[in-house]
Chains A and B, each alone.
Chain A
Amino acid sequence: MSENPEKNIQKEQEAEKRKDSASSPLLEIRGLHVSFQSRGKKLRAVRGIDLKLAPGEILGLVGESGSGKSVAMKAVMNLLPENARVEADSIHLDHLELLSLSETERRKLCGKTVSMIFQDPMTSLDPLMNVGGQLAEVLRRNAALRTKAEIRERSLDILKKVGIPAPEERLRQYPHELSGGMRQRILIAMALCSGPKLLIADEPTTALDVTIQAQILSLLDELRKEFQSSIILITHDMGVVASICQRIAILYGGLIMESGSAEDIFYHAGHPYTRALLRAVPGGDIEEGKRLLSIEGSPPSLMELPKGCPFAPRCEKAEERCFRELPGRTTLGEGHELFCHNP
């Protein structure tokens, strides 16, 4: 009941935002549900999430495995396998409603405006084709470049942009000759070829070493500034989102638990899960010998999800109501939303 006035305020704000077309979101997802049919059992991976992404913004999608973070984005990109069922109220991408488009139109649109990079660069690159060939293929398709000289020039240009030393040499190399960090850069370069408005990076640094991870993250940030593209960064690491994301959404059990600006999440976290997560990550300056604050229990099984809040069984503040019904939305501040009965 207490939500209503806040909801109204929010609606007004939204209405205002809509008038101002420049700040209208690049991607807006409402009520996204994804389920899988597996061996006669239904597995609910995403259970109604809303997301908004402004142009030029980096959104961090944080969650543990099984939280539905990758599945949600793949649903938007139409990359899910046959046995997945996707339902949504609306998915707006770049002023177009994706749900009303046909499969091919949607694929075309997504290919032009969205690029995706994955965790393991090795499996996303063709092992039998050299880097130059792979870049050329993408450029021919997406940038309508024809002549060899043009393609070569553009490839070199893009490789330089993603910070690859000696690009001429790289063009001749095959993926297995490159290090993990270099491969990820090549993949980012390929993703940039089409000049995407949105880049979805699914755990782009998980397979990399810390020193390389830091470089890739700052590269993403630079590219966002240069190309004015938006980025969705899917990760399980709070440290990764802290360094480059403006907005963060925390997922758990297929639901968004909390979303807000980086400051909201890290300094004014409202949800017990967010707070517990922050405490469980070792910080920079906590004394040695002190115990880590762990979250007891383990994440829920997607096949037997609890009726109430998915985090309730592990939550120290859980009440009877938390086990009974799903929490609704509470707005804490502008853009800071929370799904908790008992924040």
Chain B
Amino acid sequence: MLQTEKLFEIRGLKKYFPIRSFLGGKRGDVKAVNDVSFSIYRGETFGLVGESGCGKSTLGRLILRMLEPTAGEIFYKGKDIHQSPPGRQEMQIIFQDPYSSLDAYWNIGEILAEPLRFQPLSAREKQERIEAMLEKVGLKPEDTQRFPYEFSGGQRQRIGIARALMLKPEFILCDEPIAALDASIQAQVVNMLQDLQEEFHFTYLFISHDLSMMRYISSRIGVMYLGSLAELAPSRELYEKPLHPYTRALLSARPVADPEKARAIKRLPLSMELPSPLDNLPGCPFAPRCPFAKPLCREEKPALRELSPAHFVSCLRAEEISSENG
């Protein structure tokens, strides 16, 4: 692995949202992020995959300190971010929804100037930087005078990206930036993000539910299920040798744009109900849906362990399952 310098190290991160009953009493917690530990290396694209409600967005926001964790530590360049918080200009975010992420009452120039607010720059310098950035994301400098409604979804997403890049951050959280876009536009945005990474050496944390797209983008992928990491591996390894039954299920359920292959795929039978995140299950969170689950799985919570170099999985029966199913 080329990237060896850890940009982020996350240890035992937890975020619980209390659920209150009608009268204000506490009914329990939603364990959105439940004891997650991993590292993000400088210059890589770390992909976080999972279904809705698995806590991937919450995890991303915890890393950016948009939310306060319930427990756990996050180290940025070796320093605890709660003791010595990194400057805001080092981290940025790209949102999913190109409609709610830009203020409809501001023109593009104002939107892009917002992150520069605390920079000691003259109005002219700001203007120049904004225009240069617009060109970088494939828009025109004249567009500063236009309003978001004059742009299509794909173009708005470009504006959102430009805003994130204004401060030349070190790290960018991409929170499902392509989920709301049409197929022909998705590829444009993904390619642009990759070009920009090559040019500026950003580190991305890329959150998505689209496994196929993830493979293009990420160098390593973490699969999340109900608040914890099920599997973590370099992306090629994850696709070729998935170890966790959930990863297998996700891979087999992914729509393939090829009728013959689609028919040939054997889907892993999953029971369909997601347990409520409110339930406090003692064992593996995936056990109730897992076709390979044994009684032990419902009792003992598996830890994330390194099964082969750089390939982590949290499944008690990972070895058995992979030897049985190849």
A residues whose Cβ falls under 8 Å from a Cβ of B: 64-65, 163, 165, 179, 181-182, 209-215, 218, 236-240, 242-243, 262-263, 266, 276-278, 280-284, 288-296, 298-299, 314
Contact = CB atoms under 8 A, between A and B. Distances in A.
Contacts of A262: 259
B257 interface: yes
Contacts of B51: 209-211
Interface of B: 51-52, 152, 154-155, 182-188, 190-191, 194, 209, 211-213, 215-216, 235-236, 249-250, 252-259, 261-263, 267, 270-274
Contacts of B182: 64-65, 236, 299
Nearest to B261: A284
A281 B212 CA distance: 8
Contacts of A65: 182
A64 B153 CA distance: 12
A238 B209 CA distance: 17
B183 A236 contact: yes
A296 B272 CA distance: 39
The 9 closest A-B pairs by CB, nearest first: A239-B255, A294-B187, A209-B51, A214-B253, A295-B184, A64-B182, A292-B187, A243-B262, A238-B257
B259 A263 contact: yes
A251 to B, nearest CB: 12
Contacts of B270: 211, 215
Contact of A213 (B152, B249, B255): B255
B178 to A, nearest CB: 11
Contacts of A290: 216
A64 B124 CA distance: 40
A242 B259 contact: yes
A243 B209 CA distance: 19
B184 A243 contact: no
Contacts, number: 125
B272 A182 contact: yes
B5 to A, nearest CB: 21
20 contacts: A165-B271, A209-B51, A210-B254, A211-B51, A211-B249, A213-B253, A214-B255, A242-B256, A243-B255, A243-B263, A266-B259, A280-B187, A281-B257, A282-B212, A283-B258, A288-B216, A292-B191, A292-B216, A294-B185, A299-B182
A55 B154 CA distance: 39
Contacts of B272: 163, 179, 181-182, 211-212, 215
A178 B295 CA distance: 27
Task: Point out which of B52, B254, B262, B263 has the most chain A C-beta atoms below 10 A from its C-beta.
Answer: B262
Task: Point out which of A214, A282, A288 has the most chain B C-beta atoms below 10 A from its C-beta.
Answer: A282
Contacts of A240: 255
Task: Point out which of A210, A238, A281, A291 has the most chain B C-beta atoms below 10 A from its C-beta.
Answer: A210
B273 A182 contact: yes
Given A239-B257, A288-B216, 4 more contacts: A242-B258, A243-B255, A262-B259, A281-B212
Nearest to A244: B262
A64 B180 CA distance: 11
A282 B273 CA distance: 28
A210 B256 contact: no
B208 to A, nearest CB: 11
Given A213-B253, A292-B190, A282 B184 contact: no
A277 B184 contact: yes
Task: Point out which of B152, B190, B270, B272 has the most chain A C-beta atoms below 10 A from its C-beta.
Answer: B272
A238 B216 contact: no
A292 B190 CA distance: 8
Given A165-B271, A210-B255, A298-B185, A288 B235 contact: yes
A288 B215 contact: yes
A293 B186 CA distance: 10
Contacts of A299: 152, 182, 184
A278 B256 CA distance: 11
Nearest to A281: B257
A284 B258 contact: yes
Given A210-B250, A238-B183, A294 B188 contact: yes
Contacts of B216: 282, 288-290, 292
Nearest to A278: B257
A209 B188 CA distance: 24
Contacts of B215: 282, 288
Nearest to A314: B184
Contact of A288 (B154, B236, B262): B236
Contact of B183 (A210, A266, A280, A296): A280
Contact of B258 (A181, A209, A266, A280): A266
A283 B257 CA distance: 7
Nearest to A207: B52
A298 B253 CA distance: 30
A163 B51 CA distance: 21
A240 B183 CA distance: 13
Contacts of B183: 64, 236-238, 277, 280-281
Task: Point out which of B186, B187, B190, B271 has the most chain A C-beta atoms below 10 A from its C-beta.
Answer: B187
A243 B253 CA distance: 11
Contacts of B152: 298-299
Contacts of B212: 239, 281-284
Contacts of A64: 182-184
Task: Point out which of A214, A276, A299 has the most chain B C-beta atoms below 10 A from its C-beta.
Answer: A214
Contacts of B188: 294-296
A238 B249 CA distance: 20
Contacts of A292: 187, 190-191, 216
A62 B258 CA distance: 14
Contacts of A293: 187
Nearest to A210: B253
B22 to A, nearest CB: 15
A237 B259 contact: no
Contacts of B250: 210-211
A163 to B, nearest CB: 8
A213 B211 CA distance: 14
B154 to A, nearest CB: 6
Contacts of A212: 272
A119 B272 CA distance: 18
